[in-house]
Amino acid sequence: MAYEWCSLICEKHQGLRDRESFLLLSLEIGFRHLDPQDWWTDSFGLTHTEHHRGLVSAVFESGNNEAIADLLHAWTVESLYHEPAHSSLGICTEHLVGLHHLVPFSLRLRRLTIRSVRLIGYNGFKGVGMERFFRLLNHLCVTVKDTDVEDVDIKDMDAEDVGNLLKWKNILLDILQSPGGIQHLSHWYWELLVEFAIRSWWGDDLVYNPQIVISLTEAEEWDKLECWIGTIWIIWPPGAGEITEEDLGRLMLFLSRQRPGAVQKLTQRMEEWSQKSGKGVPECFERICKQAREAAQQDLL
């Protein structure tokens, strides 16, 4: 009902002085009381009219954290029941990529913006400039908890969790395969790659790409390279692509010379993966780590 009020306000009262106030009040009445954590229970459908497009500018230009969150809550829940998922949200991609100027985000707006990005997907933002999209993504600093996926093995996930996970995996994969994506993606998301791997959430989707190593090495992005090597080790051998143990060994020796603490960090990640997966750390990994430590000691001498 509140959403229908918004349509009537946009349609009948274009010249109304307090039009924007009425729009924001209608959204507040309709959606402010809803908990973003319980979005699966908010099963309602919204009827869109051409006049609802007038909501976008009014809401986003207000700069009001909670008003924007009200609109995003309405459209993200509605997107669950009307495909394609980005049909409503796609209208506001231009405004979404400008949200990084809002500092700070409210917790509710941050969560709903993250959900909106997931529903729209990487391709949905191509028309608004990918550098702006990366600025928004890096501003959000998405974590595993933000992905709406339970922290369980993928074999034990229900269909909804698997769907959410696949969308985030696809976003990260699309970024890694896009021009400039490797450089623009902040270190935060390379850590998320490792987190997905540790939880066995990658499978065969992620493969070794030598261009990633080349790009990170040329840019001297050692933290990102450490995450990438760790991810490949964890998903090894299936899905690792055209790379041998010797190649990984040379990469680790090279990285350890640039970042002396890298071997210890990689070892910790492998041990965490081993505990979660119930699998043993590969002997070749332990052997290469030993070689890297010995080489580092020789460098000191």
d(CA 70, CA 64): 10
Q: Please tell me the pTM assigned to this model.
A: 0.80
Give me the phi and psi of 91, to 5 degrees please: -65, -30
Average pLDDT, the chain: 79
Average pLDDT, stretch 271-278?
Answer: 91
What is the amino acid identity at position 249? G
Give the pLDDT of residue 80: 56
Cα→Cα distances 222→112, 142, 154, Å: 32, 21, 30
280-292: average pLDDT? 88
Q: How does residue 84 score in pLDDT terms, banded at 50, 70 and 90?
A: very low
Q: How many residues does the chain have?
A: 301
Q: What share of the chain in percent tops pLDDT 90?
A: 18
Q: Residue 151: its pLDDT value, please?
A: 67
Per-residue pLDDT reduced to its tens digit, 47-78: 555 666 667 777 887 788 888 888 888 777 76
Pairwise CA distance, residues 186 & 208, whole Å:
19
Report the C-alpha dihedral over residues 134, 101, 89, 160, rounded to 10 degrees.
60
Residue 8 has a pLDDT of 57
Across 20-34, 99-113, 252-266, least confident range: 20-34
Question: What is the band of 221 on the pLDDT scale with cuts at 50, 70, 90?
Answer: very high
Biggest CA pair distance of the chain: 81
